[in-house]
Amino acid sequence: MKPKMTYCVALKLNAGLVFASDSRTNAGVDQIASFKKMRTFVKEGDRSLVILSSGNLSITQSAVNLMEQRGRHPELENIWNAESMFDVATLLGECMREVRERDGTFLIQSNVDIGANFILGGQILGEPPRLFLIYAEGNFIEATEATPFFQIGETKYGKPIIDRVIHAETSLMEAIKCVLVSFDSTMRSNISVGMPIDLACYTADSLCLDRQYNITQGDAYFANISQRWSEGLRGVFASLPDPEWGCPISKPLFPS
């Protein structure tokens, strides 16, 4: 199984959207580098979009660059004039397909994994905030109330806390904390997911994106959260009661 070198998560709440991505890219043990996996597209008062990416970096970068470049041509349908988030998701899927068509055959010949995913979220004037997950094949799904978040990359370690804490009514502040705990769990278990963390917080109906943070190695708040979470978990664990099962074999469970 291919190791996963990225962790991105986005939450859709009544209060808005929260996005976070790590910055570690690894093309083999001797090539570890840091690349931003978050791109933002903002036209204040009209639209505010965030794209997170995981998987093959050349494919995701090329697809987003294609999307960005088309945005300079107002005669085309593009990210700046698309009527809806649904249409932007379609455009991004098309860019992904175009890059795969251009590069895919050559990469597969060299046995390079062409897997790539996007999370696309934001709001366009006239719509509520929306959140999409775009697959490597260019098709996509939208987050609903029952599943108010998407993760891509190394998703499993950081999922339990989101499952337990996040629902539509969660505040943006709680959501940011939850995302950081989720990153803490992921980075603790997978060293190829690494700092810095890019974090963006979108307030519903603001149509701007004024809260972006870059959390670097040694960030005091992150370290504080991480330590308190760790100590808190140990405390809860220590408080769990001992079992009192009868012993099905013949001897008491823990003979004194």
Residue among 74, 126, 235, 256 that touches its own copies (CB under 8 A): 235
Provide, rounded to whole angstroms, the least separation between the CB of residue 86 and its own copies.
27
Task: Classify 226 as helix, strand or coil.
Answer: helix
Q: Rule CB under 8 A: is residue 176 a binding residue for its own copies?
A: yes
Residue 246, CA atoms < 13 Å, CB-side half-sphere: 2
Q: Rule CB under 8 A: is residue 65 a binding residue for its own copies?
A: no
Question: Would strands 7-13 and 16-21 be described as parallel, antiparallel, or unpaired?
Answer: antiparallel
Provide, rounded to whole angstroms, the least separation between the CB of residue 118 and its own copies.
18
Of 96-104, 125-133, 138-146, 153-161, the window that binds its own copies (rule: CB under 8 A) is 153-161
Residue among 30, 101, 145, 244 that touches its own copies (CB under 8 A): 244
Note whether 131 and 16 are within 8 A (CB): no
CA 124 to chain centre: 20
Q: Which of 172, 173, 176, 187 is nearest to 230 (CA)?
A: 187
Q: Which helix (H) or strand (E) is 107 found in, with range?
A: helix 85-109
Looking at the Cβ atoms of 36 and 156, the one nearer to its own copies is: 156
**E-only strand ranges, the chain:** 7-13, 16-21, 24-26, 32-34, 38-43, 47-55, 116-124, 130-134, 140-142, 149-153, 197-203, 211-215
Q: Which of 147, 148, 119, 14 is nearest to 60 (CA)?
A: 119
Q: Rule CB under 8 A: is residue 135 a binding residue for its own copies?
A: no
Q: Rule CB under 8 A: is residue 27 a binding residue for its own copies?
A: no
Residue among 51, 96, 136, 172 that touches its own copies (CB under 8 A): 172
Which residues, numbered 184-213, are part of the site for its own copies (CB under 8 A)? Answer: 185, 188-189, 210-213
Q: Rule CB under 8 A: is residue 126 a binding residue for its own copies?
A: no
Residues near its own copies (CB under 8 A) are 1, 156-157, 159-161, 163-165, 172-173, 176-178, 181, 185, 188-189, 210-214, 221, 224-225, 228-230, 232-237, 239-245, 247-251, 253-254
